[in-house]
Amino acid sequence: MARSQTDVAAAQQLRAQSFGLSAPDTDPFDAHCTHLLVEDRRTDQLVCCCRILFLNSGADIARSYSAQFYDLTALSGFSGPMAEMGRFCVAQGARDPDVLRSAWGAVTGFVDQEGVQMLFGCSSFQGVDAAPYADTFALLHARHLAPACWAPGIKADEVHALRPLAEGPDARRALAVMPSLLRTYLLMGGWVSDHAVVDRQMNTLHVFTGLEIAGIPPARQRMLRAVASDIATIP
């Protein structure tokens, strides 16, 4: 976890590189978040980062970044602690699978320490053209929509509805362009909104993504906690 403003600034710089911004990526939410950094100790290079906003319950969800873009009225009734995971970025060329494993292990440690019962956030697709993601959006629509009791409503001015395809989604094409963060969410039982928000400022399309911790398969919980335990022993 970030120990100084220097650490936070490094994360903001990596975020800017990931989103193609000309200046460090900063916003008012940074001051209220815990910042998680994954560094390669061989080079001291920052290879991954994200920020986590802890909420006591759904009653606080209007404080979240996601609430700018989605109507989260349904989730305001969630009674347990929640955490929003945002700005999840991996450095270009950092292809070692241990990067993502380490990040999720650290998130797991945070979830357990704070008693978080739901993780949520925005999963971003590069660009604002929905056409390359037709199979992905169709797959999400067919298999991974949010339960009705938590489903986010439309709030943003510009959205793209997730629609089925007449011939059905091609799973290979769908997965080839699906963000790795979203794939991980779905493998753990996560779900998404029924629409993507067009975010022209960040040059992305994003879907709201939720994950109830109690619904994560036991085998995957054990694996994540094993990684979290390994991380906890690193000096």
Interval 121-171: pLDDT, tens: 999 999 999 999 999 999 999 999 999 999 999 999 999 999 999 999 999
Euclidean distance between CA atoms 46 and 66, whole angstroms: 25
Residue 185's CATH number: 3.40.630.30
Euclidean distance between CA atoms 37 and 20, whole angstroms: 19
Domain hosting 169: range is 5-232
Point out the least confidently predicted range of 1-5, 95-99, 150-154, 200-204: 95-99
Q: What angle do CA 136, 189, 67 make, to 5 degrees?
A: 75
DSSP class of residue 219? H
Say how many domains are in the chain: 1
The per-residue pLDDT of the chain, averaged, comes to: 94
DSSP-based three-state secondary structure for 34? strand
- Residue 120 and residue 210 in contact, taking contact as beta carbons nearer than 8 Å: yes
Point out the least confidently predicted range of 153-157, 213-217, 230-234: 230-234
DSSP class of residue 106? H
Give 82's pLDDT tier (boundaries 50, 70, 90).
very high
pTM to 2 decimal places: 0.93
